[in-house]
Each structure stands twice: as structure tokens, then as C-alpha cells.
Amino acid sequence: MRTFRLVIACPDRVGIVAKVSNFLATYNGWITEASHHSDNQNGWFFMRHEIRADSLPFDLAGFRQAFAPIASEFAMEWQVTDSAQKKRVVLMASRESHCLADLLHRWHSNELDCDIPCVISNHDDLRSMVEWHGIAFHHVPVDPQNKQLAFAEVSRLIETSQADVIVLARYMQILPQQLCQAFAKRVINIHHSFLPSFVGAKPYHQASLRGVKLIGATCHYVTEELDAGPIIEQDVARVTHRDSIEEMVRLGKDVEKRVLARGLRLHLEDRVLVHDNKTVLFD
Amino acid sequence: MRTFRLVIACPDRVGIVAKVSNFLATYNGWITEASHHSDNQNGWFFMRHEIRADSLPFDLAGFRQAFAPIASEFAMEWQVTDSAQKKRVVLMASRESHCLADLLHRWHSNELDCDIPCVISNHDDLRSMVEWHGIAFHHVPVDPQNKQLAFAEVSRLIETSQADVIVLARYMQILPQQLCQAFAKRVINIHHSFLPSFVGAKPYHQASLRGVKLIGATCHYVTEELDAGPIIEQDVARVTHRDSIEEMVRLGKDVEKRVLARGLRLHLEDRVLVHDNKTVLFD
Amino acid sequence: MRTFRLVIACPDRVGIVAKVSNFLATYNGWITEASHHSDNQNGWFFMRHEIRADSLPFDLAGFRQAFAPIASEFAMEWQVTDSAQKKRVVLMASRESHCLADLLHRWHSNELDCDIPCVISNHDDLRSMVEWHGIAFHHVPVDPQNKQLAFAEVSRLIETSQADVIVLARYMQILPQQLCQAFAKRVINIHHSFLPSFVGAKPYHQASLRGVKLIGATCHYVTEELDAGPIIEQDVARVTHRDSIEEMVRLGKDVEKRVLARGLRLHLEDRVLVHDNKTVLFD
Amino acid sequence: MRTFRLVIACPDRVGIVAKVSNFLATYNGWITEASHHSDNQNGWFFMRHEIRADSLPFDLAGFRQAFAPIASEFAMEWQVTDSAQKKRVVLMASRESHCLADLLHRWHSNELDCDIPCVISNHDDLRSMVEWHGIAFHHVPVDPQNKQLAFAEVSRLIETSQADVIVLARYMQILPQQLCQAFAKRVINIHHSFLPSFVGAKPYHQASLRGVKLIGATCHYVTEELDAGPIIEQDVARVTHRDSIEEMVRLGKDVEKRVLARGLRLHLEDRVLVHDNKTVLFD
């Protein structure tokens, strides 16, 4: 069922819901899902509606035009998207295949509603797996002495791909600030620890050293500060003294891939709203 | 913060949200929480609002009068409650103390927003614990040959207590149908298994015999059919071959008490809507 | 590190551990892992050792010969296996790809220590995916009017494959009794519910109808009675009123594949002991 | 059933298990539970046995004498305890009642196998609750200008109580180093975060600020460094954008009390072995 998704964040005050509901009712919009959240601490209001596209008398452009005065009146940050327009997701990976294979299989079995124009990797190992799915694979090696060169090529590929979202599926390289800014709130990373524990490299080694009883993974938007962006989703798995670092890595893979898949899915369905470096999830 | 809670279930159609939102906006109602759900399978719509009481120009009676025409127009099953009017909860227990002690402590530390007029038990064991909390304890033994006598007394106590809710905190007796009907959707039971597995007596023995790897507990409304009422909340705990039935019972207690406490809390805050023997939880 | 795995089940009595430990110490066996369990209810004792193969002065045959008298003295059911001899696993699937893709990826990335001689399916849909992994794919359609024909071919393929284990990765057909018996404790199935809830067909539909708050999956050995064999592993995922049956199916897939992968892994490492239709897991 | 618990940690080498098993078999010791662990990273070996006391021909002193030569031969750190000699646990609390009430109830319903000579608190709030359980309550206010005075009294009370274990059930004060050292590996704290995240004060505020999707609690032994001691047990609970800090505190209480109860139980049953600031749990 094709829907329009109207996503709004604005200062909280009386009458927002009524105004928006009225607008939708005026045009006989059939609301299939509605979610609100008032953040009492910072006085901000969040709202998401899914409306059957065939119940409305206009297309996206018409919707935008009709809704603009209301948005203006309430100083809304807002967007409306069409579920029929699939987001274009560029996947970036390195040598580890678990997250990439998981996302590709979900896409292939129609569980992830997006297009994947290409996969970019700093190693060539996963080419065959990607190409079997009928997806272009670009090998862009990163020379530690000249990262600029590689990232110029990465940027070019992303632009050519007309990407809406970039997913770092265990890419293991830090993206240049310029790219992060150009794709603010649209670069999704999976960190292999329960942030903010074990920021940076080798989190499972850190976890083993500290003797934690649960390991975790964190899906977050990438910002300039390493591993400090808004968290979309997290989960954990139990470990014991019997689990070596290698076992932790293995158990962690399962957590990583399901946390990343959930986070990406939420993003693709326009369910993640960001404010103050935190996320509101309308799931 | 004192709120009015407006809870609605009705056949789904376009315009309900707008109508209700308009109503609230007309009276400058400050919505602190709003939740909707459209059940596409059976065409039913569910909605819950919390509105700051001090933002509205009327009391509960005034609200009811003003809202009645809308409710009528959309054939709503509805209620509006006042968070300041605490529900009166009669607890029923037997010999096992874990659920009762847990609820009493939560109530005592202001975590459960309700009044507890009394505890009724078929055994006298827990009297001292209850009375320490300043709550009346009624010992009503149940003679297997003459249960009617006991339940007449139970009914009398419940009536005298002006109970809104009855909680079977491991009461271990089956309430008479008449009482279940009089308190339809207001008798909450905790069953010590992950329903529908292990209906009836000794579920941990059944679980051990079947060799399950997780045990569970289920909080549900009581209906005439044993253990078949609408489920409010469930949870599980992991068990291994090392766990004897006694260990399962011990581990299960922790699940039972937290599942019951969560379920009761949801009920007290008018977050549970029942339709077709299933629940919608607006948490 | 190559190990021998000594797995024992026998009536419990004093001196078993000492006898076995002495035996291993006599030959300077370096124990890397040891697990015991006394089932006090039925007086049965379970034990598993991993011993570094290079620390022992004999091969498997020599081990068996040397250990036989002890096994006999204590009436042991026992086996010793060599971690270097990979088990041969025949996978059976139907149209749903999630479990098969998951197992193939784990095998491909060296997470599952086994050989996969072939995949057998009653549909041809997953051929390309299987063959990409370099594994033979056999399409054996099952004519409902003449299942015998199909299962004769299945049996032939399994025999030709010299299979040690059969995994029903959502195969959706009931294996003939003869095959179940020939592979007793060696046919692993994934059932898409938290058994014993929702035995049989369409468990997610049953779950939705009952309004449960958690769905689950169960990995078990196949016995003659449908969905009643010894449970190896189970897990659950939370669902809400918002989740349609389709959503439950989607969420359930993630549970199914990780439960099956865990169960198979335990089996491959000789960590599952079966007694009285229950399992002891030495993980 | 009365048991002796033999707990051993020593450098790993061939023959330990055989030696210990032989020793036990020589005296016809009936082993009810046995656990081993070889830490391959640091070459350390851990072992725990429970043996029926009535199967052995000696008491604890006799056991110690008979076993001493073996312990010496393998340079063991070891202890043997008698399940019939209950450990004496001094509980320390402040104003928050949830952990204390939970432990007291478990003790009162015979779920925690220990004696509780007294509760010490820097506030008088929980006196009545403690005394209802028949346990002495000592109010020892802590003057921020003169903490020494208070802790001298605390130390005196602990000594008088002949305490084996000290449990900080949300005591909210830092114990003096001297006391920590005197009770090394015997002071158990519950920290209200998933360590190492959010060390120090107000972890729920830190968690809210960071926007995590799971909150946690950590039960650990107290060492000189704040919140850095060996972790015994951890668990988490899911939170959403709807949960204010107050809600996180409420949800966190349930995690704290069950994590502390589990950790204490493991300690009381001599199931926690400490090495290199990490724990081995034989549960």
C-alpha cells in the first residue's frame, strides 16, 4: 500500500495535532499510522503520519504546497516522502562479510525496501558475493599515506549513485568530515560495542579486558566526533568467562547485523527523528 | 501533573483523529501523550490521549457531556478518567509471598499509583506482612466442599472495598463466573507459564517434563475460560538442564512478579484496550 | 587446535569422574574443556571432555580400545569424536531462504565447522544461491499423491552424501518415519514457534489470534511425533498490537535463523546429549 | 542437602583434575556438581566441586588437612566451605529501599541462604522495614566534614557482626580504602549503569543525555578504584525516547535489584572466582 509519510519536529504548543489532523481530514486523508511525542524537557514536539496516497487529492508536490502554510505557522522542520520512491542506499564494507551479507539477503528477499546502486569497499574480497546479487561493486583501496585520493573517488561514486543514505557495514575507515556533513543524519554506522562503552578500536578486546558479562552493538548516525553520533538502536548478548575474544567477536557479529538491519529499516521508513544528538523512534 | 485520560475504541473511518483533536484544541487542551492504532484486519480504531487537567475548562462530568455527541457520532466505546482519582485495587493471594510483597513494596514506595483497600487470602500466612504496610488483611479460607460460602464472603469484601480492580497475585483459586463477569476486564491474573503453553496446574512441572529452554509468565485478564483471557504482558527467563523444578520455580518467581507489576501498572494508567480477546497497549 | 571429544552418559554413581580423569591423566591428556551434570531426578550422569589430540599417544581407534573397559564397567553410552573430522550436513529447504542463507553464510565464513555435501529442496527457487556457494543443489519435488517417490530419492541422496546430520531449514515437509529413525538424534528441525505453543501449521497465525506478546522459535531433534522431539534451543522476540501477521513472520525469521544456527553449532561440537526426550547442553 | 564446596584456582597443567577427582573418589566423595575452566590466555585453571558432606569421612578441618598436600603440590589458591555454615551478610543502604526490600524479602522467604546480622544506613528512613524482618538496624549518619567518625562506627559494627560479606545495596557512600582492603572480594556493590559506561554519579542522567536505547546495572566487587572492580553480573532494560530520567530511574530499579540478588546469590554459594580483575562464574 502506497503511503505518504509526513514527519514533523517543532516547538511544542497547543493545537499542533488539531491543525495537522484537520488538514489531513479536510483532504479525506486516510491515516494508517500516527505517532506523537512531546519532549517535556526541551519543549519540542515530534510527529509522524502515514497516509494512504490514494486517499489524497494531490501528489507530493501538491502536498508540500498545501501544507507549507501550516509548517510555517508552527516553525516546523518537516518532510513528506512517498513510500513508492525507494531510497538509494550505498553500502560500504571492508573485509568482514557478516553485516553486508545480512543486508544484501534482506534486500534480496524484499525485506528492505530500498535500492542499492552499489557497494564500495577498500578491499576486493566481497566482490563476488555482491555481484551475485546483481549489484555493482567498486573496489577503492585506501592508501594510509593518501586517504584524500581514495575519498575523492568514494565521493564521486556516491554522487554518481545519487545516494540518499550511506551505510557503513563494518567499513573500518573514518569518513572525511566533508562527506559526513554533506550526508548529515544520512550516514549510518554500526559500532561493535554497547556505546558509550569501548569507543574506538578493538572494542571486544576492551570488553574482554574489563570482564563485562554482556557485549553489545550500536547503530548510530555518523557525526564529526568519533562514535558520538545520535544512537538509533542497540542490543546486547550475554557472554561468560568461557568466551575468548574470538568467541566474543563471533557472538558480537550476530548482534551487529541485527542491530544494523533494524536501524536501517527504521531510517528507510522515515521513523527516526533527530534532535539534540538523540533520536525519537516511531516504530 | 494531573491529567484526564481519554480512551476510545470504535470502527475505523476517516476523520476520527481530526474530530477528537479539534475537540481538544477547541478547549485549549494540552495533550501530553497521544497514541493511535488502526487494526487493519478487523477495521477497528484505538486511541488514547492524556490531557493536562488544568488546561481544560471543565471537570470530568463536563468533559463527558461535551464529548458525548462526538462519541455517539463515531459509535465509540470510550471512557475518560482523572489521574487524580486513584483506582482501588483489591489484592488476592494465597501462601506464596513473592508477587504480593513486590506489589506492596511498589505501592509503598509510590511506584504504583493506586489505593489498596485490602488483601484477601485463603491462608493467614501473609497477614503480618500486609498489616505492616497499613493495609487490612482478610483471611477467607476456602472449603473445597463449600466454595460458595467463601466466595460470598470474598464478593462482600470486594463490594465493601469499592474495588475497581482485582489482582490475583498467585491466588491459586478459580474465581466464580459471576465475579469474573461483574469485573470483566478488571480481574488481572498472573499465570506462571508462557501461555498458551502449560495451561492449568503445575506449569513448571510441565515445563521441566517437556525440556523447554525458556520459562515464562503471563499477565492476563480473567475470563470464564481458564487461562484463556486477553494477554496483557509476558516475559521469559532462560533455564538449563541444571535447573531442577525447584530452581525453575525460583527463577520463575522473578518473571512472575515483574510481569504482573508491569501489567497492573499499564491497567492503572488506562493503557490497556481490549478487543476480540486481545489487548492494545499504549505504553 | 585439534581435539578429541569424549561424550558420556550413564547411571550416576561415585567414582566416574575419578576413573575418567585418571584414564586421561594416565595418558597425559591435556583437557581443554570439561563438563559434568548429575540429573538427580533420574539418577543419570552426563559428561563431556575436550582433550588436545596431540597430547594423547593414540588415535581415535586407539582411544576407543583403551577406554572400552571403563565404558563397560560403568555401562556408559559414549562416543569419542575427532574435531578434525568434519561432520557432513545435508541441508533441506523449501522456498523460504532466510535459514538456508544464514547457514550457508556462516559456513562460507568458517563459522560452522562442517562439510555441506548438498542441499535438497522440494522447489527449485534457491538453486542459484546454493550453487554460488559451490554446493550441489538437488531439486526433488514432492507430489502430494506420491510422497514415497520423492522420499526414496531424498533417502538415496542422503545416503550418497554420506550425511552425518540432516538439517530441516524450513523444509515444510514431514520426513517419513523410516528416515527419522535411521537418523535418530541427527535430524535437526527449526519450528517457527515457542514450543509447545502452536504445534503444527501456521504458528504465527495462531500466535496472532491468541494475542501473545512474544513470539519464538524452537530448534529440536525430529522424532516420530510432530514437533515433540527433544528441544535443543529456543528464543523469543517481542511483538506488539502493531505487528500484523506479516510483521510477525518477518520478526520471527530473525529468531528462527539464530536459534537454528545455535542449535546446529552445539550439535556439530558434540555438545548436545539426549536423555528422556530432553537435552543436556554443555556449552 | 549439606555439601562441602571445594573451590580452586591455580596455574594450569596436566593432571589437576585427575588428582582432585582421585582424592575425592578415594574418600568416596559423592560429587553433586563439578565445574572447570581453563583460561588459555593466562594459563590459569579454575575448579569448583560440591560434594555431599555425609559421603565424606571427615569434617572441614579434616578435609583441609587431607587436601593440603595436593593444594601445595599444584600451588593452589583454594578454600573449602560447608553449605551448613551460613555466611553472615551485613547490608548497607541509604534512603532508596528497592534493593534492600528485595534482598530482605528473598532472605525472609528462604531464597537467600545467609544470616543477616544487621543493616547499616546513613539515614533512618528504612528502620521500620528492616526491624519488621527481625533484623537489627543501625543508623550511622555520615557527616561530610568528618566521614572518619562514621566509618569508624561502621567498621566497629561490621566487626561486631562477624560479617563475612558486605553488600552495598545502593549505599551511595564510598567506603574507606582500609575497609575495602580488609574485605577484599567480599564487598559487593550494585552500580546503576552498564559499566564501564557512566561511571560515577547520576548514571541515568548521563544515559539520558547520551540517548542510549538500553540502560543497565552492574554488580561488582568493590576495589580501591571507583566502579572498576571485578564484574559479577550485569543486565539491561530497553528504554525509548518516551522515557524521562524519572522513568529510567524506575525501570532501572528493577534491573538493579535482580542483578544484585543474582550476584549475591552466586557469591553466597561460592560460585564466583576472581582473577586478574575478572570473575569466573560457576553457575
A37-62 per-position pLDDT tens digit? 999 888 999 999 999 999 999 999 99
Neighbours of chain B (3+ CB pairs under 8 A): A, C, D
Nearest one of D75, D32, D30, D37 to D54, comparing CA atoms: D30
C104 and C10 in a common domain: no
- Rounded Cα distance, B277 and B39, in Å: 14
- Residue bearing cell 594423547: C56
Q: Do A234 and D213 touch (CB under 8 A)?
A: yes
The yes-or-no answer on residue B227 being catalytic is: yes
Which residue from D211, D236, D281 is facing A230, i.e. has the nearest CB?
Answer: D211
Give the pLDDT of residue B32.
86
| C-alpha distances in Å from residue A190, one per residue of A182, A277, D28, D259 | 19, 17, 55, 28
Indicate the pLDDT class of residue B190, thresholds 50, 70 and 90.
very high
Domain edge (last residue) among D55, D82, D109: D82
Is residue C239 over pLDDT 90? yes
- Rounded Cα distance, A114 and A132, in Å: 18
Indicate the pLDDT class of residue A103, thresholds 50, 70 and 90.
very high
Indicate the pLDDT class of residue D96, thresholds 50, 70 and 90.
very high
Give the pLDDT of residue D226.
85
Q: Contacts of residue A216 in chain D, CB cutoff 8 Å?
A: 214
- Rounded Cα distance, C50 and C6, in Å: 6
Q: What cell does D53 get? A: 558432606
D241 and D129 in a common domain: yes
Give the pLDDT of residue C40.
84
Chain B residue with the nearest C-alpha to that of D283: B242
Number of structural domains chain B divides into? 2
Phi, psi of B264 (to 5 degrees): -65, -45
Domain coverage including residue D272: 87-281
> Is the C-alpha dihedral spanning C215, C220, C222, C224 positive or negative?
negative
- Rounded Cα distance, B206 and D218, in Å: 34
Q: Do A214 and D235 touch (CB under 8 A)?
A: yes
Q: Contacts of residue B98 in chain D, CB cutoff 8 Å?
A: 105, 109
Chain A residue with the nearest C-alpha to that of B16: A25
Pick among A97, A104, A109, A112 to test the C interface (most C CBs inside 10 A): A109
- Residue bearing cell 497499613: B134
Neighbours of chain A (3+ CB pairs under 8 A): B, C, D
What's the CATH number where B38 sits?
3.30.70.260
Which residue from B195, B197, B241 is facing C37, i.e. has the nearest CB?
Answer: B241
- Rounded Cα distance, A160 and A156, in Å: 6
A52 and A7 in a common domain: yes
User: Are residues C134 and C56 in contact, defined by beta-carbon separation less than 8 angstroms?
Assistant: no
Q: What's the mean pLDDT in D98-121?
A: 98
B108 and B21 in a common domain: no
Q: Do C15 and D25 touch (CB under 8 A)?
A: yes
A265-277 pLDDT, tens digit each: 999 999 999 999 9
Mean of per-residue pLDDT scores for chain C: 95
Q: Do D105 and B97 touch (CB under 8 A)?
A: yes
Q: Contacts of residue A24 in chain B, CB cutoff 8 Å?
A: 17-18
A274 and A197 in a common domain: yes
User: Are residues C95 and C125 in contact, defined by beta-carbon separation less than 8 angstroms?
Assistant: yes
A95 and A37 in a common domain: no
Q: Do D211 and A231 touch (CB under 8 A)?
A: yes
- Residue bearing cell 572494542: A203
CA distance D229 to chain C (A): 27
Q: Does D132 touch chain B (CB under 8 A)?
A: yes
B19 and B100 in a common domain: no
Q: Do D244 and A41 touch (CB under 8 A)?
A: yes
Domain edge (last residue) among A27, A61, A82: A82
Q: Distance of alpha carbon A62 from its chain centroid, rounded? A: 27
What is the rounded (10 degree) CA torsion for B46, B51, B56, B61? 50
| C-alpha distances in Å from residue A28, one per residue of A25, B18, B134, D116 | 5, 10, 56, 68
Q: Contacts of residue A98 in chain C, CB cutoff 8 Å?
A: 105, 109
Q: Does C258 touch chain A (CB under 8 A)?
A: yes
Give the pLDDT of residue D25.
86
- Rounded Cα distance, C64 and A48, in Å: 67
Q: Contacts of residue C102 in chain A, CB cutoff 8 Å?
A: 105
Give the pLDDT of residue B246.
95
C66 and C92 in a common domain: no
Give the pLDDT of residue B88.
98
Crossing angle for the helix pair D98-108 and D245-268, to the nearest 10 degrees: 40
- Residue bearing cell 482523572: B82
Identify each DSSP E strand in A12-111 by its residue range.
Answer: 31-39, 44-52, 77-82, 87-93
Q: What's the mean pLDDT in A15-19?
A: 87
Q: What cell does D69 get? A: 598436600
Which helix (H) or strand (E) is B255 found in, with range?
A: helix B245-268
User: How many helices (H) and strands (E) in chain A?
Assistant: 8, 14
B74-97 pLDDT, tens digit each: 999 999 999 999 999 999 999 999
User: Are residues C161 and C90 in contact, defined by beta-carbon separation less than 8 angstroms?
Assistant: yes
C126-146 pLDDT, tens digit each: 999 999 999 999 999 999 999
| C-alpha distances in Å from residue A45, one per residue of A11, A77, B38, D230, D243 | 6, 10, 22, 43, 15
B115 and B140 in a common domain: yes
Chain B residue with the nearest C-alpha to that of C206: B196
- Rounded Cα distance, B268 and D269, in Å: 39
Q: Contacts of residue D108 in chain B, CB cutoff 8 Å?
A: 97
C15: three-class secondary structure by DSSP: coil
Chain B residue with the nearest C-alpha to that of A29: B14
Q: Contacts of residue D254 in chain B, CB cutoff 8 Å?
A: 258
Pick among C45, C185, C213 to test the B interface (most B CBs inside 10 A): C213
D9-56 pLDDT, tens digit each: 999 988 898 899 889 989 999 888 889 999 988 899 999 999 999 999
Neighbours of chain D (3+ CB pairs under 8 A): A, B, C
Mean of per-residue pLDDT scores for chain B: 95
C91 and C191 in a common domain: yes
Q: Do D30 and C36 touch (CB under 8 A)?
A: no
What's the CATH number where C140 sits?
3.40.50.170
Adjacent-strand bridge partners of C167: C91, C188
Interface predicted TM-score of the whole assembly (ipTM), two decimals: 0.94
CA distance D260 to chain A (A): 14
User: Are residues B218 and C197 in contact, defined by beta-carbon separation less than 8 angstroms?
Assistant: no
| C-alpha distances in Å from residue B47, one per residue of A26, B41, B42, B281, C115 | 20, 17, 15, 10, 54
Got the DSSP string for A153-199? HHHHHHHHTT-SEEEESS--SPPPHHHHHHTTT-EEEEESS-TTTT-
A211 and A105 in a common domain: yes
Q: Which residue type, as a one-letter code, is found at position B8?
A: I
Which residue from D17, D25, D26 is facing C34, i.e. has the nearest CB?
Answer: D17
Report the half-sphere exposure of A181 (CA within 13 A, side-chain side).
4
Nearest one of D39, D16, D47, D74 to D276, comparing CA atoms: D39
Adjacent-strand bridge partners of C47: C8, C36
Which residue from C98, C109, C128 is facing A98, i.e. has the nearest CB?
Answer: C109
Domain edge (last residue) among C53, C82, C111: C82
User: Are residues B175 and B97 in contact, defined by beta-carbon separation less than 8 angstroms?
Assistant: no
D119-154 pLDDT, tens digit each: 999 999 999 999 999 999 999 999 999 999 999 999
C202 and C124 in a common domain: yes
Instruction: Give me the active site residues of C, please.
Output: 227
Give the pLDDT of residue D67.
98
Q: Contacts of residue C195 in chain B, CB cutoff 8 Å?
A: 197, 210, 212
Is residue D235 over pLDDT 90? yes
